[in-house]
Amino acid sequence: MRPPVLEVRDLSVHFTIDTGRFFRHEYQTIKAVDQVSFDVRPAETLGIVGESGCGKSTLARAILGLVRPQAGRVSWLGENLLDLSEEAMRGKRREIQLIFQDPSGSLDPRMTVGDIVAEPLKTFYPSMTRLQIRERVQGMMKLVGLLPEQVNRYPHEFSGGQCQRIGIARALVVNPRLVVCDEPVSALDVSIQAQIVNLLKDLQKKLQLSLIFIAHDLSVVRHVSDRVLVMYLGRVMEVADRDEIYLHPRHPYTRALIESVPIPDPVKERERARRALKADMPSPMNPPSGCVFRTRCPFAVDDCAQSRPALQTLDSGRQVACIRHAEIADGQALPEPEAIDPD
Amino acid sequence: MALLEVRDLTVAFDTPDGVVHAVNGISFDLDPGETLGLVGESGSGKTQTALALLGLLAENGRASGSVRFRGQELLGLTTSELSRIRGSKISMIFQDPVSSLNPYMTIGDQLVEVLTHHRNLRRREARSRAEEMLNQVRLSDPRDRMRQYPHELSGGMCQRVMIAMGLLCQPDLLIADEPTTALDVTVQSQINSLMGELSEQSSTAILLITHDLGVVAGLCDRVLVMYAGQEMELAEVHDLFSDPRHPYTEGLLNSVPRLDQARSGILNAIPGNPPNLLQLPEGCPFSSRCRYRFDRCRERPDFERVSEGRYKRCHLEGIPEQADQGTTESA
């Protein structure tokens, strides 16, 4: 196996907020990302899933150096990005690009599409001539399925799906090696979403890109990813190959997530045994002791409150942070009867 | 008799760019106790249909056609006549639960207001009824919740409050506009099973507006598929999913990635984009994106009966058998 392009080790991002009223300050720490470790291999797609507030977007921003982590390492091709000066980091940003969730909101409404796609080229390749830039931009537009004659149009003349194509062109125009996609299709309608998902997969293959695909939609993540990482309240719950994680989820949270997704088939959907999770996600300001998922976990026992479960690596390369994962997999552990929500 | 009869409903908005034709002559019935799904992508007119039913259109919107609720025409009623119906006989829950609640009032006061206004209950009775309702939607510690403000509750809890509020007066019809879209998937599943249960227990009919075909599969009895403000297909839920008769329905079903199926290489996206509602195409609105397009599609098809309870707006006799690779890319 080729060495990973990106190695994230024990990365933590904490935010301090003031919850006091009026002139009394009460500072509290939110551990948005808490000791997260994972690898991204060359030309693979790593899907990151989790519910809102689980820290997936903060994680993306930390990788790109847009927020300052408290601790940990982000190694890009063996070099720790967190040690780099602002100047040196700018150079690396060419290699790591970002695609945003809101397709039209992330484009400057007063710039033409041509200028939007050309801007990263001007930043990273100042010696390119105007002619070279124009050729590259038009080639890029064709690659993402836009018409090159649309270069002089403005973002408002495009639909959401087309705006996302512009966003993709802008990210890819500088030949990045890793593209972080933060909810790239969640703002789009299903028929358009499928177009963009196909485009991303196609470009990844053509350009041998590594992708980090962040989404809350498990079905889309299953479709695009080679491996999947599941986050909850800032921590990694499980990492495994796509089919492994979807067919044989080991962590109770992964299981609950998969069971929660409605299936577009009335027969299957109505027959499914659903073990709805209890309650809502606890406040990230005041996470539960031990395993952060235990307050909603149908398999929780007293030990779960004692200490934070380590992210163990199993034989298959799967990683899981649950003290009961083996019993659960064997079917030995059954959910506590009173823990089953009557829903 | 149907509970709700909608006939040739059109909704248009005057905008500086011209007239936006949001809903273009749709008709459907809703029976008592039934759950009808209104499905379509953004801009298909599903929300405007619901708002028009309740006289909640924006200022620049105009509705025409007929909406009969228990035989009474709703279009053209005055605000005071409508407000006797809204919240008591027909209630609505919206996509964003947090901003649909009044941030300055406690949950309890907001629920009590509904009952004192519509049912002339005294405050004490209203409070106990409200608490009972919160219990029914499985909100934990209802008594404490009554004293809290919306910002103290999570999104899922607020949506439970909205559902409770919608059902307080035991309405005949509940309109739910994307009730779980803003919620996380585990919470979404809680709310969906709650809605399913409540519709089974009560005789309230539900008009469920959603873009999520999985939610439709779980909750609806019948489904109306909309596109560009028109009905494309109406069918019983099992028929729609197992045997879609309209190319758009087929396209929608094929373009969703599914958790229960091993992945195929590419998704069957529907090429192109939805039409511009300022300038609707003459013929079938879907024809420019349709893989089965032929000459007749230049004329607008009627919404015709296919079989008992099934209607479609398409010139094709049936969808040709050729479940192969669809077009996947578009310019």
Q: What is the pLDDT of residues B293-322, one digit of tens each?
A: 999 999 999 999 999 999 999 999 888 875
With 60 as the cut, is the pLDDT of residue B185 above it?
yes
Q: Which chain A residue shows the shortest CA-CA distance from B254?
A: A191
pTM comes to 0.86
pLDDT at res. A276:
66
- Rg, Å, chain B Cα set: 21
Do B57 and B195 belong to one domain? yes
Greatest CA separation for chain B: 67
Q: Taking the domains of chain A in order of start, what are their residue ranges? A: 6-95+176-249
pLDDT of residue A336: 53
Residue B73 shares a structural domain with residue B122:
no
Q: Which two tokens stand for residue B102?
A: 């009044």
- Identify whether residues B73 and B206 lie together within a single domain: yes
Domain end position, chosen among B210, B231, B264 = B264
Q: Does A159 touch chain B (CB under 8 A)?
A: yes
Do residue B273 and residue A192 have CB atoms under 8 angstroms apart?
yes
CA distances (Å), B25 to each of B129, B227, B273, in order?
A: 41, 12, 22
Domain count, chain B: 2
Nearest CA-CA distance, residue A122 and chain B, Å? 26
Look up residue A232 and give its amino acid: Y
Whether A114 shows a pLDDT value over 50: the answer reads yes
Residue B201, pLDDT > 90, answer no
Same structural domain, B71 and B130: no
Of residues A226 and B268, which shows the higher confidence score?
A226
Q: Residues B63-87: what's their mean pLDDT?
A: 93
What is the per-residue pLDDT for A335? 62
Strand ranges, E, within chain B: 4-15, 18-30, 35-39, 61-69, 72-73, 90-93, 173-177, 205-210, 222-227, 230-236, 304-307, 310-312
Asked if residues A242 and A226 have their Cβ atoms less than 8 Å apart, the reply is yes
Torsion, Cα B99 B104 B109 B114, to 10 degrees, reads: -50
Percent of chain B with pLDDT over 70: 96
Instruction: Tell whether B102 and B161 lie within a shared domain.
Output: yes
The residues with which B30 forms a beta bridge, in sequence order, are B4
Residues B200 and B53 grouped into a single domain: yes
B327, part of any domain: no
Q: Using an 8 Å CB-CB cutoff, list chain B residues near A257.
A: 185-186
Let me know if residue B322 belongs to a domain: no
User: What token pair was written down for A33?
Assistant: 């990302």
| Single residue among B229, B245, B264 that ends a domain in this structure | B264
- Same domain for B244 and B231: yes
Contact B256 A159 (CB under 8 A): no
Say if residue A290's pLDDT is above 60: yes
What the block records as the tokens of A10 is 């024990």
- Token digits of residue B295: 């000459």
Same domain assignment for residues B146 and B81: no
Between the alpha carbon of residue B286 and those of residues A159, A190, B280, B313, the distances in Å are 17, 15, 10, 10
Contact present, A320 and A251 (Cβ < 8 Å)? yes
- A&B contacts, CB < 8 Å: 151
The answer to whether residue A173 scores a pLDDT higher than 90 is yes
Q: Virtual CA dihedral for A39, A42, A45, A47, nearest 10 degrees?
A: 10
- CA–CA separation, A104 and A190 (whole Å): 17
The tokens of B210 are what?
């959603």
Six-digit token string for B184 = 């996380």
pLDDT recorded at residue A283: 81
What are the tokens at A271?
A: 């027959």
**Which pLDDT score, from 0 to 100, does residue B187 have?**
84
In 3-state terms, what secondary structure has residue A287? coil
d(CA B301, CA B287): 11
CB of A52 within 8 Å of any CB in chain B?
yes
Domain match, B115 and B233 both: no
Contacts of B258 in chain A (CB under 8 A): 219, 263-264
Cβ-based contacts of B213 with chain A (< 8 Å): 190, 264
pLDDT given at position B264: 63
Which is nearest to B136 in space by CA: B43, B79, B199? B199
Q: What is the distance, to the nearest Å, from the Cα of residue A10 to the centroid of all Cα atoms in its chain? A: 17
Domain membership flag for residue B154: yes
CB contact under 8 A, A263 and B259: yes
Judged by a CB distance cut-off of 8 A, whether residue A295 touches chain B is no
Please judge whether A262 and B253 are an interchain contact, meaning their C-beta atoms are less than 8 angstroms apart.
no
Chain A CA closest to residue B138? A343
Q: Are B128 and B210 part of one and the same domain?
A: no
Based on the fold, state whether residues B84 and B176 are members of the same structural domain. yes
Selection from B318, B311, B325 nearest residue B247 by Cα: B318
Assign domain A6-95+176-249 to its CATH architecture. 3-Layer(aba) Sandwich (3.40)
- Shortest CA gap B159–chain A (Å): 12
| Residues in chain A closer than 8 A to B325 (CB atoms) | none
- For residues B281 and B40, what is the distance between their CA atoms, to the nearest angstrom? 18
Asked if the structure places residue B316 within a domain, the reply is no
Q: Spell A129-155 as b/e; 16+ CB within 10 A means b.
A: eeeebbebbbebbebbbbeeebbebeb
- Domain of residue B150: give its range: 97-168
CB contact under 8 A, B214 and A261: yes
Contact: A269, B259; criterion CB under 8 Å: no
Mean pLDDT of chain B: 90
Chain B residues touching residue A227 (CB < 8 angstroms): none
Domain stops at, among B168, B185, B204:
B168
User: Do B47 and B101 belong to one domain?
Assistant: no
Write out the two tokens for A235.
């921590």
| Selected residues 182-241 of chain A with any CB under 8 Å from a CB in chain B | 189-195, 197-199, 201-202, 216, 218-220, 222-223
